[in-house]
Structure 1
């Protein structure tokens, strides 16, 4: 029943979004749509939590608040903030405001106050960092909502009323119904956001590959980290695969940073079991002294960074003997991640193919990782056109610190295993399974995978371009020239005979050309 509820919820939410956004583009509307879904979730969760606390007293949240006993109110506030991280009074709940919207009341001011009350309730609490400025991108004064205050109120009211008809199924604990529906919404918005989508979303099938690889051989990972976490979907995939107890991430874009925190809470991650921080990972490392069991990332491809000389003495980069070029930060992200990797951990990141063969400083870093440190465990080539906003083929780099001398590097060419869906290529479950199983077994499969020794890679001047190691050349079938010529003569004879028959028919019809 839960999976059917999930399907229905996804359809309802997306239908609502398509109907309500009007002329607003997908990326602009995303902040309002997802923000209000999150507000409804927080409202329903606090109401359900308080009612559960009062169950043995034969009363409920609204009744207790109407009675006005301040001691009981304070006790309930404290319990809620300790357990779920925040509090919201009944007058600011979604159900209260949606009822006012149904009556045609002006609700924009009350809605803004509701957002503020949620954030203010966490001040000086352990959950403060997870809730502060969380609704900054739900700008209720934005001209995108309408010209006048009444226009804005009308649109927001219609959104609340549409959401009021949707059952979030919060009491169904069999599967994460709302969390998965929220992920679905982010994915659908990404599909319509074009180039911007790459800033906040990694396609689910790619997330699954990364998640399964970094959890190979482990039933549980203590923690997982993503230095460019976007909406957090990749982190949540690892948590689902490896039962990660703690989640850590950093995100540069303020809007996406808020989306990641919402995503964590909507997936029922306790506020004290995740830490998403804001800032530029390379310039302002928020987890300077931390190491992690699993690291996953889909960093921006060939992004610019400062490559400032100060990084020559930064422990993350200094040992490699060179900095990634200003115009291509790919290896800066890779070195940053390996610096934060626990000695027994695994990291897997998506990168453009250029990291496999580009020379100059990138060639020096690549050689350092292979020859000096022996960190590179596998290179996996992915199909082109998997990611929103770019059609380039990409690869996955898998790195470990615990590799032994003599260990080979596994090359997998999975570039041909995909299904085309509309304008996007997608990995099907069987494609994911083949990639992961090949990585686990380190099997050599003709035209698919190869185990290369360090000596073999050195002979290729530390170039990791996959075709150098996996021969995918398909021999064309030999052509029998004599048979082809004989067939041509037969066809010519048949054509000549047909021409004669056509001439007879034309003469019978009195037509002569």
Structure 2
């Protein structure tokens, strides 16, 4: 469902047409496209501080700029997986009196444990689409626009399995297929959705990912021993030959 925000007045009331009659509660929307009026000054700021729908979860904007009241109204109208596109002047990104509200809004995009992170763009071709999995977090981490965050449904997919599969030759082929290159390499979220992961039960995904991780750890141990042996060989040759330019 798409809701286009129209000019509103007063305390930015929730329009009657978006109140679900069966519950008396506000309806929510999958997609919202909005072009609110910029920086209106005549609005009921006092009423917003006691908003009955709890839309002031980021704070109360200054009297002379109601922009973040509209923004919170839009965010509060989204479904859990809803999206919105809002046309705003650049000032909403920089004005000092709205700094705290901006920070709270950014904090809603914290990265969570087991999220998959994809490189959105890179000057190196192989960097675009490179996948990492978030491990244990000691503090909240915010993701930036140069990456794509994917949170999987735990009832359908095991993050570790998807991560390991994307590192496999077949997974790498899928990333290569959606990767584009102009002045820089990049992938898009819409193309990322086109990647099909093998359908397996949750128990099989867990078993497969654990086996792959174990094999990968064994390979890393072999590489580490090889590197250690090469270092010892170099030291022995340097000692034997009395020089330090042995390769």
**Shared fold by TM > 0.5?**
no
Between structures 1 and 2, the one with greater helix share: 1
> What TM-score range do you get, normalising by the shorter chain?
0.3 to 0.5
The structure having more radius of gyration, on CA atoms, is: 1
Higher relative contact order (CA 8 A, sep 6+): 2
